[in-house]
Structure 1
Amino acid sequence: MSTLDITAPAFAPRVPATRLRLTARGRRVLAALAALPAVLALAFAIVSGGGALASGEGGAPAGAFTQVTVLPGDTLWSIAQDAAPSADPRDVVDEIIRLNALSSGALVAGQTISLPVDIASR
């Protein structure tokens, strides 16, 4: 007579992990995909507004601005309303932030900021 012993194996065979191998063409494709957002942002900046800024369109000479010293209690909103009462203060505040390269809307008394000359004509 024969006996049959049915038992599960003590361990599962391990499948070796494969390494990702990039060819030269694969590296070029990944580099192009990584650079794509920067290229698109640059193209959008050129198409959307860079041309008008470079041509100096608008009534004022290119780069014309006035200097204002911030007084205690002044905010960007109050300065924008004083500079261009007939314009939307949100647009004027945005222009002031871009012109002065401000990282936030916080101002310090005694700070000198620049205002575009053409905002008073709005």
Structure 2
Amino acid sequence: MSTAASVQIRTAGSAGYHLNRRGRFLLVGFPVLVLVVLAAAAAAFFGINGMAPAAASEEGPSRSVDSVTVGYGDTLWDIAGRSAPDASRNETILRIGELNSLNGADLQPGQVLFVPTNG
């Protein structure tokens, strides 16, 4: 018998280890999945923080606000006319509603409202 016939040549695939589907996932797929999740988290983090200064700069100039105590018989129309006489009363009423989180036009005497002023 020749010595060449008894020698086995081992290659990388025949080293005695055979990866099944789960093993290939753990060896290749899981690290790739972790990298994708980390990249998405980094993109979300830096994307949100990168947009924050731009969002803050779009607000525009701040408007001045004053407080008014509601008197007996006062309406939002009257208060809007006194607080910002040069502005549109409808817009001023909407702004008063936003500033005070009003759900309607019901006011109580003694109630304190924040109102926009001309300025």
Q: Structure 2-normalised TM-score? A: 0.48
Query: Looking at CA atoms only, which structure, 1 or 2, has the larger radius of gyration?
Result: 2
Q: Which structure shows the higher helix fraction?
A: 2
TM-score when normalising by structure 1: 0.47
